[in-house]
Structures are given as structure tokens and as C-alpha cells.
Structure 1
Amino acid sequence: MSNTDDLRHGRTCVYNLQAHLVFVTKYRRGVFNDAILTDMETIMRDVCHDFDAELVEFNGETDHVRLLVSYPPKIALSALINSLKGVSSRLLRKKYTLKTHRNHLWSPSYYAASSGGATLDTLKQYIQNQRRPD
């Protein structure tokens, strides 16, 4: 790596792990608006902090969200994803009346990819350019 500022240090390791995540709503229902996405970003940032991870970038559209997460090797990515989806669903359904299917906000599936194939700047720009609803 040419830029050592991207490296994170654990007790016994040096790492630079990022994942590009996409979560879609159940049946791709368009339930998000700007206020919900703003609250969701805060919720997901807090969950990441609890896992000693960092939410690097976040954005979404009416039926899905995209995240770029930097996480330590001690965390199972699936555990972080389950927490992100579970906590956000619970807190958002508590605050907003969402058009969910049987109280399920998220589809049970998700997309996760290592960010090694594209530069981080490319991924950040792609996430920032999502068509955020009004």
C-alpha cells in the first residue's frame, strides 16, 4: 500500500479492510425519504462504532441503502451486517410508520463485496451519487 494513513492498527495486527454493502427493503418497497435516511445513517454509524468499525460512506434511495464500512479483522462481517439491519429496522419502525411487509423492513439477503476491486475514491463517489429522494 502506498498510503499508510489508511492502515488501522489492532493489538496484534495492521489492517485495512473495507466492505461495500447493499441492503434492500423487503419486496423492494420504496419506503425511505431523506429524513429516514438521515436517521438511518446515524443509527448505522452508532452500530459500527459499537463494533469498533467505521461507517466511511452512506447513502440510499427509496428502496435500498449502500454503505462503505471499514472493520477490524476480529469482527465477523455477517455479525456486523445482522446488527446493522436488526438495529436499524427496530429503531426506524419505532420512530416512523413504514410500509413494511409483516414488520420486516429488510430483505433477508444482502450484497457484500471487498472494496479491493475499485479504488475507495471510486466507491465513495458512486455512493455519494445515489439519487437520494426528497
Structure 2
Amino acid sequence: MEYQTKSHCKYLIALHLILVVKYRKQLLQGIVGDFVKQKITEISARSEFNVEEIEVDKDHIHILLTISPSICVASYVRRIKQSTTQSIWGRFKWLKKQFWFEKTFWSDGYFVCSVGNASTDTIRKYIQEQG
């Protein structure tokens, strides 16, 4: 990962983000997990963050992303959660039985940790080995 430059700053903000499926339901296996990874990658293409690494486990997803300092972390998380939830519900109608018709997919919270440049490779390897 390289430093990014804007008109008045130079930065490298790398984050390890973990999102958990509501009720820890093991829904990220197979086609749903692949779909979620694809959607998050598409969201990053039109947003101010880059997905460096992404991998799913049975009930949660690990994302290594780099962000801009101009937007708060919660805004990135909100965008990812809202967009993926809408896409998932549009594609996988059988989820109605999993969540009692409540249009949700992710648990309310999230884990995020800043990653220093020196340990990025360690985090990247950890994420690649998930699932």
C-alpha cells in the first residue's frame, strides 16, 4: 500500500473491518459470501475507499481497506452495510425465513482497528486465511 496525496495532506489510513451477520447466522458460505464480496468491491469502486483484501467466514467478513481522512469510519461502514443489505435482500428472497421478514443482514455493531503500515502484510495474510 502506498501513501495517498490530496491537495493539503499525505496519508495512509488502513483499517481492518469485521462485519458480523445478524444473530451470527452462518449465511456467508458459498454463493451469498461470493455475492457480498463482489458487492463490497463494487461499492469501493464508486466510493472513497479501496478494498485491499476481503474474505468471508461462515458468519462474518474481514475487510482490509484504505480510506480517505475526509470521511469518518462510521460513514464507510454505514454505506457498506446499507448497500449490501439492499442487494442481498433483492437477490436472495429466501432470507425472509431467516430474519422473520425484518430487512436486515448485519448485526448492529462492527469491529474496526487501524493497521500500521508495518503490520499490513500480517493482517492481509490473516484475512486471506479466513473461511
**By the TM > 0.5 criterion, same fold?**
yes
2:99 pairs with 1:103: no
Is the deviation greater in 51-60 or in 91-100?
91-100
Task: State TM-score, norm by structure 2.
Answer: 0.89
1:21 counterpart letter in structure 2: L
1:12-27 aligned at under 5 Å gives the runs: 12-27=8-23
Gaps of 5+ in 1: none
C-alpha contact (below 8 Å) 2:19/2:60 kept by paired residues: yes
- Give structure 1 regions of 4+ aligned residues with deviation exceeding 4 angstroms: none
Q: List per-residue Cα deviations over 1:79-118 (Å, max 9, x = no partner).
A: 0100101100110111013323522111000001001286
Q: CA RMSD in A?
A: 1.6
Q: Counterpart in 2 of 1:65?
A: 61
From the two aligned structures, give the one with the greater strand fraction: 2
Q: Following TM superposition, by how much is the alpha carbon of 1:48 offset from its aligned partner in structure 2, in angstroms?
A: 2.0
Q: Describe the SS at the equivalent of 1:54.
A: strand
Query: How many pairs are equivalent?
Result: 127
Q: List per-residue Cα deviations over 1:37-62 (Å, max 9, x = no partner).
A: 22211211222232221011100112
CA distance in 2, matches of 1:86, 1:67: 16
Q: Following TM superposition, by how much is the alpha carbon of 1:13 offset from its aligned partner in structure 2, in angstroms?
A: 1.0
CA distance in 2, matches of 1:35, 1:46: 16
CA distance in 1, matches of 2:5, 2:35: 30
1:1-134 aligned at under 5 Å gives the runs: 6-96=2-92, 97-98=94-95, 99-101=98-100, 102-116=102-116, 119-131=119-131
CA distance in 2, matches of 1:50, 1:12: 23
Q: Following TM superposition, by how much is the alpha carbon of 1:16 offset from its aligned partner in structure 2, in angstroms?
A: 0.3
Gaps of 5+ in 2: none
Identity of aligned residues (%): 22
CA distance in 1, matches of 2:35, 2:27: 13
